[in-house]
Chain A
Amino acid sequence: MFVDTTVCTGCKACQVACKQWNEIEPGSGPIGMTNEKAVRDRTAFTGDSYDNTGHLNSYDWRHVKFIEQIGPDKTTSDRTGARWLMMSDSCKHCEQAGCLEVCPTGALYRTQFGSVDIHQDVCIGCRYCVGACPFGVIEFNKNTGRVNKCILCQDRLEQGMSTACAKACPTSSLTYGKVDDLKRMAADRVRALHARGQTDAYVYGWDLGNTGKITAGPNAGTAVKDMEVVGGLNVFYLLMDKPEVYGLPQAPSLPQRNFAPSAGVALISAAVLGVTGLAAFRRRRMAEVAVTAE
């Protein structure tokens, strides 16, 4: 899936379609919400943004981010230089998926479409995938005792249909298709935007060779370029500002990078502890022998 953030209007049709097709309950409320009853009833609002979901979670598999670059004082009527960036976010279905790699039961698996799906009956709710995902996508569902995330409408894909979100998107911000075709589409789109003077456009997920410079907002003047992350993202983005601005990590990596080094350090430590432990007991005996020999 290709997400062109430049044409997203924040209408949230994709969120609604996702919930409707997958029959997901209302959301759990945004981060930082203090009204416990509202959170419990899942009717909470942030109060300072049009974003009423706050983050991806087990109830919101798709989330439209509202990045309001208004300045520190949101109450001022001066909107000079202000801009809103919108982005419809979801699971990225990474080529090197940390969640899938660490799953100890095989609940997470790669589908024939390249997406990452969950066998709900196999998931034991250990939450290891929650900690492994570098994008903070997956969340534990307290009601079911299992984890949830976007499954790219696997049932629709099997019937030759597009995803519900892409089908509902009124501006073609979300496009479903073969990744190679979508990469070509993204490259064409970036070129067209650059030709119009919007040099801040670049691709997050694959390196298609584009470079540019941010033209507006607090990061104006910063150089940007396409970036391939975790082996490539099967849901990738056309962005207009630094990844952090969209809540995306600058350089996400597979958690397995630490596995062998961590095990190696543990082995060395084990050897040191084993030798010192044995020495502690042996040393006492050697002292005894020395005294006995006197």
Chain B
Amino acid sequence: MPNAYVLEPHWANWMLVLEMFVAGVAAGTYLFIALANLASDRTKAGATEDREVAARAGFVPLPLMLLVGVLLVVDLGQPLRFLNIVFRNPEAVERGPSPLMFNGNSPMNWGTWVILIFGLFVTVAFLDALWHRRTFRISIVEALSHNPIWLAIGAFLALATGAYSGILLNVTSQNVWGDTFLMGGLYLAFSALSGMAVAAIVADRAGARRTAAAVQNALFWFAAVAGVLLLLFVLNLAATGRVTLLVAQLDLLIAPVFWIGVVGLAILYPLLTYWRGGPVRVRRSGTTTLAVAGTDLGRLAMVGAGVLLGVLAFRYVLLYSALAAVH
């Protein structure tokens, strides 16, 4: 009989897959917003395009974070009790006198506080998106949403939020999840990739060719980083003897979803699509200098949608591979 790790089946469920996917997309999308604002050159003609696309993308993270809250409430079923994770319940006297709850050894506590603070940044991004639509005006929002320090802090929190669920799963005793320490980085890479996929769709729909060129580049490189981390993760699992749970597990369709969804759609699709067209080609159009993606815009949206599907597959196989281990 092997080590009898008994996984509570309700730990891995579709609600959790969706929670992690949606939170990852929200964090990744905010990362794009911060990058687009931090790296855009405001002195050049047409340079406001990045900010315009970023503002459009600003509509995405806040509703997704709110959706995560709703999914959590549905999953846990006890919305009021959830406050115990933020405010110390008086009965928990062992945790000291502070009215706030923080256990530094618990990734869940870290994550809760990071997400709470990150909520402020996505709210400002959302208000900025409204400001761009001329439906809402608060001067401090305009000032904050383009402030480099604010954006840098927001980007850091977005990265922390993206990594959170991976670290959370790493700090368990479960098969696959607890076998490695690479899941924080891996989850972060896939979160960033999903955010850039949203940016690809937004840039495409906005007809923003300059931004699309940068997004295409970022998609390529983020997919490359995610691919390297995934390879290291698989090698790490191979060293612990549990790699078959991921790459050859037919139970719960883990292996097919891994190869087609994760490797195929999330990693290879953007890599192969932009392998040649990755480096930006630049051409003149009248008096304006345009940096043009190597492929047409419609294709960029397709790649974005494919990557999003692949990231959803990633969330599924990583969560359910541990469950398959005890089937």
Contact = CB atoms under 8 A, between A and B. Distances in A.
B171 A106 contact: no
A258 B1 contact: no
A291 to B, nearest CB: 5
A104 B108 contact: yes
Contacts of B218: 276-277, 280-281
B106 A104 contact: yes
Instruction: Report whether over half of chain B's contact residues are helix, strand or loop; otherwise say mixed.
Output: helix
B149 interface: no
Given A109-B94, A133-B173, A263-B167, A270 B159 contact: yes
Nearest to B46: A288
Interface in A236-266: 244-245, 247-250, 252-253, 255-256, 258-259, 261-266
A282 B221 CA distance: 14
A250 B159 CA distance: 36
Interface string B153-185: 001100110010011111111100110111111
A139 B78 contact: no
Contacts of A133: 173
B189 A273 contact: yes
Nearest to B169: A131
B36 A262 contact: no
A290 B168 CA distance: 45
Interface residues of B, number: 86
Contacts of B282: 287-288, 290-291
B229 interface: yes
A121 interface: yes
Given A145-B77, A281-B35, A121 B1 contact: no
Contacts of B1: 244-245, 247
A11 B36 CA distance: 69
A170 interface: no
B107 interface: yes
Interface in B70-97: 76-78, 81-82, 84-85, 88-89, 91-92, 94-95
Contact of B188 (A56, A253, A259, A269): A269
Given A107-B84, A288-B289, 19 more contacts: A101-B103, A102-B172, A105-B92, A106-B88, A125-B78, A145-B77, A145-B81, A249-B4, A252-B173, A262-B166, A263-B167, A266-B167, A269-B189, A270-B159, A273-B222, A277-B32, A280-B215, A283-B214, A291-B282
